[in-house]
Every structure is written in structure tokens, then in C-alpha cells.
């Protein structure tokens, strides 16, 4: 299975395969995990635990199963047979072979649970998300219009097979999201869950309002919290946490909600074209979502282990993204505008004032195409994030 777009994570996985007995790769369904692993580990056997016959063998007789598949094996959707994790621990502890097993799974909760309980210290864990901007740029697949890019999204099949985003995402929700939901939760009313996902889309780029989500779906707050956790563990949404250091001001402590993929987000919001997005009231939120998610994707794909936050005080002064540096902060303001005006820098300046005397690196990421280095700011096109 040939990989069309080179994935940035490839080299980092190759770097670790001789240092850990197990490599684990997680990420959303259809993000390209199987293709990537088959390309990296060409001499490994590939075993999918989605296959009911294979899964039954593994569940009923794990010892015999692992005698059959005991070296240079890729186990896909391994979280479906959780008892394998403890058996793998014994095998790799005895063999001391590096890169003996490759694990892959699309349900983060069960995969991470299995690793932390049985395989801690034995696994190099990676996350593969849909394409990032630098991957598409490298293959000349990135348009100059951020509106078209947001609507198209970043899932490999859309680029590899030239599928219309509206067709792809309608099937994605029905086939994958609801499949994960029914496996993780006993939801009898899938329509209510579809409504819930749509309401999450309307909150993208905003402070999470759990009570509003619960009330609108006529469910309890604990149920809404569980449903949100399922969307997180299936890599549909994530919560960006606020930075809490108090610069003598009251700070917001509620996370902001984002989608990993803006194509799915636009589909849920019924935005079907870049032209439609241009005039949509949520254009700024969707652009911000794409940019913030880009930092998350490049963080995982380049194995950086950075921690990102946003900052907002009780007067709604905020910076969209914040990262601590050795001597202060790197802060980012995200604006869909293609015209640079002095007003776009005010939140960055306000944060610098609050953070004084710590050093603050200030960057504006905007909807235009030209980069600039000014004396106090870096101005970065959305296409140039790296």
C-alpha cells in the first residue's frame, strides 16, 4: 500500500523502533495509520483485530495466538482485545527484542489504558492525525485560499481518492463516529448524539459550555461529559486548557473546544464551499480552529512534546495560543483577516504587559499569504506554520 503524501512522523517512529520493544500508534480512524505502518514495517506481518475470526482466536486462547504471532507483527485495533496487553508485557520482558510488536488503535481511551496498566516504559507512543499543512505543502496539495482548505479538511482519503468532502464526511460520521460511540457507550438515541455533535461544532473555538450542550440535547450534565469524552477519545474534538498563572488578575479556568479537522467541522455546520465560508459568521472561529489544530498536529507529527494553552482574563482579554519558553512565553494571535492593521496586535501587547518582566515572543497568524518580521512582532501566513 503506497503512501502518496510523506508523513512527518515517519522518521520519528523509525528513530524509536530500535529503542523500545513496542511501538504504539494511535489517532482517528482513516488518518492513515495502517498505510503508514505498512510502509515503515514492510517485513512485519499485519494482523487486524477488527476481523472477528482473528479477534475470537486472540480472546479465547491468547497464549496460542501470541505463539503464532510472536515477533515482527503489527496488531491493528489492538484495544479490541485488551487482555493481550498483559501477555505482551511478559513476552517483551523475556525477549529483550526492540521493535518486536507494533500496536495501532483508533480509540485512544482503551489503547492508553492498556498501555499505562501493562506496558508503561516498554512503549514509544505516537499520534497520527490527518494531514498537517506542512505535509500538504511539501506535495503541492495546499491551496492559497484558507476557506477552501478549511472546508476540504485534511483526511488522506479526500486527497488520495479525490472524494468530495460532503460525501466523505457524511459517511465518516455514520461509519466511524457512530461505530465508536456504540462500542464505548450504550446510547439508545443516536439522533440525540448527532445533535450533540452538531452543537459541539457551534461551540468550536469558544469556551466550553457543558450545561448549554446538556440542556439543548435534554440530557444530564454527566451524560454530556461522557459524550464529550467519547468524542475526545475518538479524536473528533479536543479541549485546549487555559493557562493558569495569575498575573494579578482573575483568569478564566474553562477550556476551549476545538475539532481536530475543520472539514468535519464545516460539514457539521453545513458549510459546503469556501465561498459559503467566506460570508459565514463563524469564519473566524473556523480559521482559528484550523490554526490551533495545526499546532497540535505538528506537535504530534514532529514528536515535540510541547504543551499549548490559551490565556484569557475575566475581562475577556485573551491570546489564542500560548507556549512557555525557557525565559518566558511564545504567544500567538489568530485572525482570519487578510489585511494587517495595528488593532490586530493589541491582545499580544496586553499579554506582554501582564507577563512583564518575562520575555514574550509575539506572533500574529493571519489569513493572508505574506510573512513579515517586524521589530516587535512576527507576522505569519497560515500556510507557513511550522
Q: Say if residue 162 is in the same domain as residue 277.
A: yes
Q: How many domains does the chain have?
A: 2
Alpha carbons 257 and 241: distance in angstroms, whole number: 9
Alpha carbons 133 and 156: distance in angstroms, whole number: 12
Residue 3 has a pLDDT of 58
Cα angle 5, 10, 16; round to 5 = 175
Torsion-angle region of 30 (φ positive above 0: left; ψ -120 to 50: alpha; else: beta) = left
Note the pLDDT tens digit of each residue in 187-211. Answer: 777 888 889 999 999 999 999 999 9
Q: Say if residue 98 is in the same domain as residue 53.
A: yes
pTM: 0.94
Task: Write the CATH number for 119.
Answer: 3.40.50.300
Q: Say if residue 149 is in the same domain as residue 271.
A: yes
Q: Say if residue 95 is in the same domain as residue 22.
A: yes
Domain extent, residue 16, equals: 9-127
Nearest to 106 by CA among 5, 179, 2, 192: 179
Q: Is the pLDDT of residue 178 over 80?
A: no
Contact between residue 382 and residue 286 where contact means Cβ atoms under 8 Å apart: no
Note the pLDDT tens digit of each residue in 93-122. Answer: 999 999 999 999 987 767 788 888 889 899
Alpha-carbon dihedral 295, 367, 288, 270, rounded to 10 degrees: -120
| Residue that the C-alpha cell 489503547 belongs to | 111
Q: Say if residue 173 is in the same domain as residue 58.
A: no
**Residue 160 belongs to a domain:** yes
Q: Say if residue 43 is in the same domain as residue 79.
A: yes
CA dihedral (155, 171, 183, 74) positive or negative: negative
Q: Say if residue 123 is in the same domain as residue 35.
A: yes
Bridge partners of residue 85, in order along the sequence: none
Phi, psi of 209 (to 5 degrees): -120, 90
| Residue that the C-alpha cell 524509536 belongs to | 16
Q: Say if residue 196 is in the same domain as residue 268.
A: yes
Contact between residue 193 and residue 214 where contact means Cβ atoms under 8 Å apart: no
For 220, the 3-state DSSP assignment is coil
Note the pLDDT tens digit of each residue in 252-298. Answer: 889 999 999 999 999 999 999 999 999 999 999 999 999 999 999 99
Chain centroid, CA 89 distance in Å: 28
For 22, the 3-state DSSP assignment is strand
Q: Say if residue 149 is in the same domain as residue 279.
A: yes
Task: Write the CATH number for 174.
Answer: 1.10.10.10
Alpha carbons 279 and 155: distance in angstroms, whole number: 24
Amino acid at each position: 500500500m503506497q503512501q502518496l503524501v510523506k508523513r512527518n512522523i515517519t522518521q520519528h517512529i523509525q528513530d524509536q523502533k530500535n529503542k523500545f520493544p513496542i511501538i504504539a500508534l494511535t489517532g482517528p480512524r482513516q488518518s492513515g495509520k495502517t498505510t503508514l505502518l505498512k510502509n515503515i514495517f514492510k517485513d512485519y506481518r499485519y494482523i487486524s483485530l477488527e476481523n472477528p475470526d482473528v479477534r475470537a482466536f486472540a480472546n479465547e486462547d491468547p497464549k496460542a495466538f501470541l505463539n503464532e504471532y510472536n515477533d515482527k507483527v503489527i496488531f491493528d485495533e489492538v484495544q479490541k482485545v485488551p487482555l493481550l496487553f498483559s501477555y505482551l508485557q511478559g513476552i517483551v520482558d523475556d525477549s529483550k527484542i526492540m521493535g518486536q510488536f507494533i500496536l495501532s488503535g483508533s480509540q485512544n481511551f482503551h489503547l492508553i489504558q492498556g498501555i499505562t496498566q501493562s506496558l508503561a516504559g516498554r512503549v514509544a507512543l505516537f499520534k497520527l492525525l490527518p494531514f498537517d499543512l506542512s505535509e500538504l505543502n511539501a506535495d503541492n496539495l495546499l491551496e492559497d485560499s484558507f476557506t477552501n482548505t478549511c472546508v476540504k479538511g485534511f483526511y488522506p482519503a479526500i486527497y488520495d481518492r479525490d472524494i468530495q468532502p460532503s460525501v466523505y464526511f457524511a459517511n465518516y460520521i455514520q461509519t466511524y463516529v457512530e461505530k465508536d460511540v456504540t462500542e464505548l457507550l450504550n446510547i439508545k438515541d443516536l439522533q440525540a448524539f448527532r445533535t450533540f455533535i452538531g452543537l459541539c461544532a457551534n461551540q468550536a473555538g469558544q469556551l466550553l459550555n457543558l450545561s448549554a450542550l446538556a440542556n439543548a440535547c435534554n440530557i444530564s450534565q454527566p451524560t454530556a461529559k461522557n459524550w464529550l469524552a467519547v468524542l475526545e477519545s475518538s479524536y473528533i474534538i479536543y479541549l485546549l486548557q487555559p493557562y493558569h498563572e495569575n498575573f494579578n488578575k482573575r483568569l478564566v479556568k474553562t477550556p476551549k473546544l476545538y475539532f481536530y479537522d475543520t472539514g468535519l467541522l464545516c460539514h457539521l455546520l453545513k458549510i459546503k464551499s469556501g465561498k459559503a465560508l467566506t460570508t459565514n459568521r463563524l469564519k473566524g472561529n473556523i480559521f482559528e480552529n484550523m490554526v490551533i489544530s495545526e499546532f497540535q498536529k505538528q506537535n504530534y507529527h514532529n514528536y515535540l512534546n510541547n504543551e499549548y494553552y490559551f490565556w484569557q482574563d475575566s475581562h475577556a482579554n485573551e491570546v489564542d495560543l500560548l507556549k512557555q519558553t525557557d525565559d518566558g512565553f511564545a504567544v500567538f494571535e489568530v485572525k482570519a483577516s487578510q489585511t494587517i492593521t495595528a488593532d490586530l496586535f493589541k491582545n499580544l501587547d496586553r499579554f506582554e504587559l501582564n507577563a512583564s518582566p518575562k520575555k514574550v515572543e509575539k506572533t500574529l497568524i493571519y489569513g493572508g499569504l505574506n510573512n513579515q518580521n517586524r521589530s516587535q512582532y512576527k507576522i505569519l501566513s497560515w500556510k507557513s506554520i511550522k
